[in-house]
Structure 1
Amino acid sequence: MKVNPSQLLALLCAFIPQGLPVLITGPAGVGKSDIVAQAAKATGHDLLISHPVVEDPTDSKGLPFPKGDIARFLPFGDLERALSATKPLIWFLDDLGQASPAVQAAKMQLLLARRIGEHVLSDCVTFVAATNRRGDNAGVTGILDPVISRFATVVELEPTIEAWTDWAVRQNVPTELISFLRFRPDLLYVQKKSRDIENSASPRTWGFVAKTMGVVPKDLELISYAGSVGEGAAGELMGFLGIYRQLPSPDSILLTPDTAPIPESPAALCAISTALAAYSTEDNFDRVLTYHDRMFDAGYREFAALLGRDAIRRKPELQNTPAFVRAQAGPLGQIIRGQ
């Protein structure tokens, strides 16, 4: 069953407090690990991350240790930490599908019986696991059916531009990159078809682009971005940036918001909307809304909605301004009410 990031977070927040294990599948770089970390924070759990792909079966059952005439298994590493947990803990098994069958089999008793030999897991420990799919070129051969059946539910994470935008706004991702991916949401994730040593577009690799924007020299931008998301996506981004950088600045628009020109191309409208939203403050929001209303009246309702919603998402305090209160009777109010 496919879920978007917000649905996955809500599902984890419902299952984890009940101690129910969840298995998340999906392509590489779409945010599985990040969402598990968000769920841990939201539910008040510590987070223990294990990587079964680099484990040996003894990591899940302990090392045999002599005790008189017998031997007992001595837990160590992540197993020891989980067994000694006294506070709510998510034990996250990342990239489980890349692990060998022997390592996966060693996890079965932990997942179902919640014990290994004489060692018993505390009730405060909840399992979550993630894996890529067989077709993702990630070295996944599959997960043993008895292991899959140990999970209360199995879901596939599918990236969406809405969820990525929410994350990007909170993380102060450059407005030009947010604008571009809103304009070309099909490039948020591009499945890699070849086994060549090169990157492809994904939420993770766009994150690297965000970190290098404003740092890499202009003459090396295409090289840098292509190395992050592939030549095709990087070329599209550079074309968009050429338009973005020729647009009037937010300052010049807000000097004369009632007469400043409104662009006609979708790329430019997307760029202007995102830039003005990032530029909005309590002091200038009345002028931002003047331009917003003109966009709405000119028939660019979708881009006016991007501007209004983004501004409020970035700075919720804007809803306390007199300009926002007055706007409830105008286009912004219609947008918020979904009319």
Structure 2
Amino acid sequence: MKPSRIIETLKTLITIRQPVFVWGAPGVGKSQVVAQVARQAGVELVDIRAVLLDPVDLRGLPRIDDSNRACWCPPDFLPINGKGVLFLDELNAAPPLVQAACYQLVLDRRLGEYRLPDGWSIVAAGNRETDRAVTHRMPSALANRFVHLNFEVDDAEWLAWAQAAGVAVEVSAFVRFRTNLLHAFDPQKDDKAFPTPRSWEFVSRIMNSRTTAIPDLELIAGAVGEGAAAEFCGFLRVFRDLPDPQVLIDSPETADVPDDPATLYAVCELLSQKTDLANLPRIMTYAKRLPPEFSVLLVRDAARINSAIVETPAFNDWAVAHADVLI
């Protein structure tokens, strides 16, 4: 299930307070999606790392009440009022006794004397057993208490997110060029670093804080692995030699149009970031000279950044010229 469908499904299940478990490989963005849903719903998110808990941590501590009877004091991380999402992250990585402690909380919304407030929903997440991550087989009695969703990486949706999140343009352009390297996790290998949406975000932070055009290969390899790092650093050499995008904007009818696909991806990424209503006619002139698939890529990304351009005559002229590609 793509991230956008995960988000819409979570919104529905949270509304009806149906417990849900999101499964996915390491680094695909499960936790971020749950946090995004809570943020969009305007409710609180309580993130509990189940793998760090002992069974008694959920139940709390006993005390003697006024009737000289033993009762339990629930932990302060469990909500007592308001509305929100109780997120049990890495639940299937927790020891079996901790998972067992969640039975009653997930199904009955209770834990001993504690009762989960009506405004709260339960979401859990974890890695798949086939990913060779640290997991314990989830007891069938607990698994049957959830609706299960499988998280799939989608490069188009990640690139749209990256554009809005300020991911370095070099990283976005490279992922467009080598989409299979957005997520290249092989559980049969013992690689410590490998390409995932999360690790490319690490690379973006490195790029945004770098002091040289091409960062140290070993540094990038520490985030995404040696193979992906070598390809990325090679791509940066192409990116470094790109013409100034302002030159392309100022001379759209005579500026060179690259032949190399890697260079074309990089040019489209740069120009989409520069597009505004003032320079749109000139960028559309240059876009018409690009191969059709790259012209569509440039204009689509520019429209995602500034949707107002789709209401302009320049956009309409371009759309008419590329009607056969857009249909």
Please tell me the residue identity of whatever aligns with 1:159. Answer: V
Structure 2 Cα separation of the partners of residues 125 and 308 of structure 1: 42
| 1:330 and 2:321 aligned | yes
How much does 1:232 deviate?
0.5
The match for 1:97 is 92
| 1:232 and 2:232 aligned | no
Q: TM-score, normalised by structure 1?
A: 0.91
The match for 1:35 is 33
Native 8 Å contact 1:59 1:77 kept in 2: no
Mapping of 1:135-284 within 5 angstroms? 135-151=130-146, 153-192=147-186, 193-195=188-190, 198-218=192-212, 220-284=215-279
Structure 2 Cα separation of the partners of residues 56 and 145 of structure 1: 20
Please tell me the residue identity of whatever aligns with 2:303. Answer: I
Please tell me the residue identity of whatever aligns with 2:38. Answer: A
Residues 115-153 of structure 1 deviation map (CA, whole Å, 9 limit, x = unaligned) = 1223222221100000011232321122111111111x2
Structure 1 Cα separation of the partners of residues 121 and 244 of structure 2: 50
Match of 1:12 among 1, 10, 13: 10
Mapping of 1:39-118 within 5 angstroms? 39-67=37-65, 68-79=67-78, 82=79, 84-86=80-82, 88-118=83-113
How much does 1:334 deviate?
5.7
Native 8 Å contact 2:288 2:318 kept in 1: no
Q: Which runs of 5+ in 2 are unaligned?
A: none
Native 8 Å contact 2:92 2:137 kept in 1: yes
Structure 2 Cα separation of the partners of residues 267 and 20 of structure 1: 46
Identity within the alignment, %: 36
Structure 2 Cα separation of the partners of residues 265 and 281 of structure 1: 26
Q: TM-score, normalised by structure 2?
A: 0.94
* Alignment coverage as a number of residue pairs: 324
> SS where residue 78 of structure 1 aligns?
coil
> SS where residue 72 of structure 1 aligns?
strand
Q: Which runs of 5+ in 1 are unaligned?
A: none
Native 8 Å contact 1:51 1:94 kept in 2: yes
| 1:315 and 2:306 aligned | yes
Sort the Cα spacing of 1:77 and 1:306 in 2 relative to 1 into closer, same or farther, 3 A: same
Sort the Cα spacing of 1:25 and 1:69 in 2 relative to 1 into closer, same or farther, 3 A: same
How much does 1:62 deviate?
1.9
How much does 1:221 deviate?
2.5
Native 8 Å contact 2:96 2:136 kept in 1: no
Structure 2 Cα separation of the partners of residues 220 and 126 of structure 1: 44
Match of 1:306 among 285, 297, 303: 297
Residues 170-227 of structure 1 deviation map (CA, whole Å, 9 limit, x = unaligned) = 012122211110110110111144335x311100000010011042343642122111
> SS where residue 294 of structure 1 aligns?
coil
Please tell me the residue identity of whatever aligns with 2:70. Answer: A
| Cα RMSD (Å) | 1.7
> SS where residue 65 of structure 1 aligns?
strand
Structure 1 Cα separation of the partners of residues 308 and 181 of structure 2: 32
Structure 1 Cα separation of the partners of residues 273 and 215 of structure 2: 26
